[in-house]
């Protein structure tokens, strides 16, 4: 190690900010919540649409959404009696996308994000259609 290196780590993260980062990662430490967030990357959805998409009961998805909302990872828009969910901001979208891209590197194949735009679009389309092929809805 280079203990005398003048380029030693100097950035410090305040405790309260570190705690918020930990809470964000805690919210991402659940596969259902990750699937819900991933479904919201490019659109907004109702609880029922998300439940069908992830293959879980609406009540369960609603509980996950409440936690994600409290963590300020999603926000809502009400239209009549229906509530639609979307990602809170582009930082959430980027965090989730980076996590998915990082996970793709763990597999043996070429990560999807290293493919061309058209191939990436097709991959997202295939991923969206996969639950329907398994009988879980779109």
Q: Which of 59, 69, 120 is nearest to 92 (CA)?
A: 69
Domain covering 15-133, topology: Arc Repressor Mutant, subunit A (1.10.10)
What does the alpha-carbon distance between residue 68 and residue 38 come to, in Å, rounded to a whole number?
13
Q: In a 10 Å sphere around its CB, with 0-12 CB exposed, 13-18 middle and 19+ buried, how is residue 95 labelled?
A: middle
Of the listed ranges 7-16, 83-92, 127-136, the least confidently predicted one is: 127-136
Neighbours of 87 (CB within 10 A): 21
Which residues are CB-contacts of 2 (< 8 A; sequence separation ≥ 6)?
Answer: 8
pLDDT over 90 percentage in the chain: 60
Strand partners, 87: 74
Provide the 8-state DSSP code for 112. Answer: G
What does the pLDDT look like over 20-45, one tens digit per residue? 999 999 999 999 999 999 999 999 99
Instruction: Kindly list the domain boundaries of the chain, sorted by start residue.
Output: 15-133
> Counting every residue, how long is the chain?
138
C-alpha 135: how far from chain center:
23
What does the pLDDT look like over 52-62, one tens digit per residue? 999 999 999 99
What's the whole-model pTM score?
0.73
């Amino acid at each position: 190690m280079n203990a005398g290196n003048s380029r030693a780590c100097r950035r410090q993260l305040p405790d309260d900010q570190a705690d918020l980062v930990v809470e964000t990662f805690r919210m991402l430490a659940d596969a259902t919540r990750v699937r819900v967030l991933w479904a919201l990357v490019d659109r907004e959805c109702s609880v029922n649409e998300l439940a069908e998409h992830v293959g879980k009961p609406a009540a369960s998805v609603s509980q996950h959404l409440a936690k994600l909302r409290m963590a300020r990872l999603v926000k809502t828009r009400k239209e009549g009696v229906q509530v639609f969910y979307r990602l809170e901001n582009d930082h959430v979208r980027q965090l989730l996308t980076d996590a998915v891209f990082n996970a793709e590197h763990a597999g043996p194949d070429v990560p999807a994000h290293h493919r061309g735009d058209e191939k990436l679009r097709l991959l997202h389309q295939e991923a969206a259609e996969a639950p329907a092929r398994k009988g879980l809805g779109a």
